[in-house]
Structure 1
């Protein structure tokens, strides 16, 4: 089989991020050697061909279910964290052994959403991953479930994979699911049709339902489509298929191919849109809304009518109109304690040291 020309970008990608889910690696709370080894064999072959690979792997919580004697995936956070602390060791050990068959070394990188929300931690993650790749190591990335709370979780590793793909400036992203691609409806039902390629939002119009996650995972087809759109917005082509088809996927064959956007988002604005959590909200009057959304200029304190949240200068905040609709996200120039005293005041009326933008246009992205 030969890949269509646009899918060739996946086959020839010098650096590829591959994401695999819990249900592809575990069964009844135990890691499955066969599927894991098959995945490793395909990635090792890719590495042997001189191409770099980053693996984003779920499975820590699921792998801890059996050893802890649990009957199902725990629902409370504390038990999830306990299961992850047991399962992550088993998962890392199994990957190290399997890749070792090919003479390859792996490195574990555990992240929380908070690590990517903070620009300094974001850059540290970049340096670590780049150094591992330069040393010939295969990074294995997972969410740090042992310490992540509900407030700082990615929610699923599909989104994490898309962010990691941007983080390492990957040339392709492969998302492995239980299903061999994106269908117009539940593929178990008659009439469902595989969508071979997605080039823009109109190609998703025929999709009537996107399923939820499995019994041991948190992702579903909806999260995979969202992740694909995040990655393609950064100019990264995506292939979505099932885990047993990893060999074909790396060749750009089968599944659903998501073409990269013609115009990719600037790196800093991509981070602001997808890798930050707002620490507060600024409410804008009608004039400020027009200035930000139409004229695309900076937001001044004079156009702000209300402030909520607890934030420091440099934190991300939402910008909303007076009806509560969130219009943009930006990095605020003032602490939340200082900003209320400045609301509605024109720049000449402010002390010299406070005559600056509340949110500079270069630190602002429309949503």
Structure 2
């Protein structure tokens, strides 16, 4: 088996490196319950991923990059870094930033148009982030990712190592989806999901999702009957919540933020969802917005990757006995419990595991290619030739949705 995907737990210097070490003093936040608890944990987080939506980075009148908005966000990020945290920025806005220079009044709907706008906008966006952080003598590094980069383990490791090295060199990583080459079939879908995956990739202690809404409501916040939800401890707290889609220049919307928040919490990362206007409070005392509590027991980096990021090349259908064994018994998947295979896969590939009623159980790293496995189906291990008696998917390389194990 291949070694597990490492988490890259590099301990980085937390003292400011810039000659100008002045921290911006944010305004005090409102009180939000007693000291301690989950919000105190957010305040103490050392590795922080901050995602900023397109609408928070562009001018409302012409969709061009707004230097003042970026400066205000940079000021708050600088304050958090001076206070001792390591920050990674996931920045939307490339397509929106390219619309103005190209004379577009509406976000393109075709793939080529989006990629053209992104190719122009990425230049403008990177320049503005560099200019803004340059006021504090900080260097930024642009990291453009596609879903394929996260889906293939070797490329995911390379992305992780790049992020780690940028932080070791005391540069601020600015991450965005590489819209200029991503196809409609191979996209993260929105930068909220990308931020959740980057947070796990970096071993973050906190993910902050910023948009133009100050938190989660059970319906459109413009509705006077809308109820603010300060904390989400589990999926039950989302019963009855109606979340909308994206806006004029973005693709995220509240639905994608909630989905990304729940994804991050499955990996053991708490999430703070609020508006970019309240970034100073969010990054100082975490007294604003909606907090999503992390699940107990953080998934290993490999199992999180296998469940939520990996490219799947095939499917194994299993019987009821095998389903019970792998979901509740912590057992490896053996050939005797497999009833059918689909797709062309090789040893070491990630395959989806499906139960007898068609339910997706989980994913795992298969030990045999599809042709070899075809002759093993339903056979007891003792009846298989020597060299083919290993588990089809070893328990250490099997991650299931039922238990998140």
TM range (shorter): over 0.9
| Matched-pair contact (CA < 8 Å) for 2:201–2:301 | no
| Matched-pair contact (CA < 8 Å) for 1:29–1:72 | no
| Matched-pair contact (CA < 8 Å) for 1:132–1:138 | yes
| Matched-pair contact (CA < 8 Å) for 1:300–1:357 | yes
Aligned to 1:7: 39
Cα shift readout 1:178-205 (whole Å, capped 9, x = no counterpart): 1100001111112111111122223222
| Matched-pair contact (CA < 8 Å) for 1:29–1:63 | yes
Alignment of 1:82-231 (within 5 A): 82-205=116-239, 207-231=240-264
Query: Structure 2 stretches of 5 or more lacking a match?
Result: 1-29
In structure 2, what is the Cα distance between the partners aligned to 1:75 and 1:334? 42
Structure 1 residue 363, shift from structure 2 partner: 1.1
Aligned to 2:383: 349
Aligned to 2:266: 233
One of 25, 30, 52 as aligned partner of 1:20 = 52
Higher strand share: 1
In structure 1, what is the Cα distance between the partners aligned to 2:346 and 2:124? 40
In structure 2, what is the Cα distance between the partners aligned to 1:169 and 1:287? 36
In structure 2, what is the Cα distance between the partners aligned to 1:15 and 1:293? 32
One of 249, 272, 279 as aligned partner of 2:282 = 249
In structure 2, what is the Cα distance between the partners aligned to 1:341 and 1:271? 29
Residues 1:40 and 2:74 aligned together: yes
Query: Please, which moves more after superposition, 176-185 or 214-223?
Result: 214-223
Structure 1 residue 350, shift from structure 2 partner: 2.4
| Matched-pair contact (CA < 8 Å) for 1:162–1:227 | yes
Query: Please, which moves more after superposition, 131-140 or 75-84?
Result: 75-84
SS in 1 for 2:291: strand
Cα shift readout 1:43-67 (whole Å, capped 9, x = no counterpart): 1122222321110001111111222
In structure 1, what is the Cα distance between the partners aligned to 2:328 and 2:195? 33
Structure 1 residue 2, shift from structure 2 partner: 4.7
Structure 1 residue 71, shift from structure 2 partner: 2.9
In structure 2, what is the Cα distance between the partners aligned to 1:2 and 1:122? 40
Per the normalisation by structure 1, the TM-score is 0.95
4+ residue segments displaced more than 3 Å = 1-4
Cα shift readout 1:50-99 (whole Å, capped 9, x = no counterpart): 32111000111111122222231112212211111111111001110111
In structure 1, what is the Cα distance between the partners aligned to 2:111 and 2:322? 41
Residues 1:80 and 2:114 aligned together: yes
| Matched-pair contact (CA < 8 Å) for 2:318–2:339 | yes
In structure 1, what is the Cα distance between the partners aligned to 2:260 and 2:248? 20
Supply the RMSD in Å over aligned alpha carbons.
Answer: 1.6
Residues 1:295 and 2:329 aligned together: yes
Residues 339, 192 of structure 1: CA spacing in aligned structure 2 closer, same or farther, 3 A cutoff? same
SS in 1 for 2:78: helix
| Matched-pair contact (CA < 8 Å) for 1:17–1:55 | yes
Query: Structure 1 stretches of 5 or more lacking a match?
Result: none
Per the normalisation by structure 2, the TM-score is 0.86
In structure 1, what is the Cα distance between the partners aligned to 2:311 and 2:217? 31
Cα shift readout 1:201-246 (whole Å, capped 9, x = no counterpart): 23222x4301111122111212111211222222222110011110
Aligned to 1:313: 347
Residues 1:334 and 2:334 aligned together: no
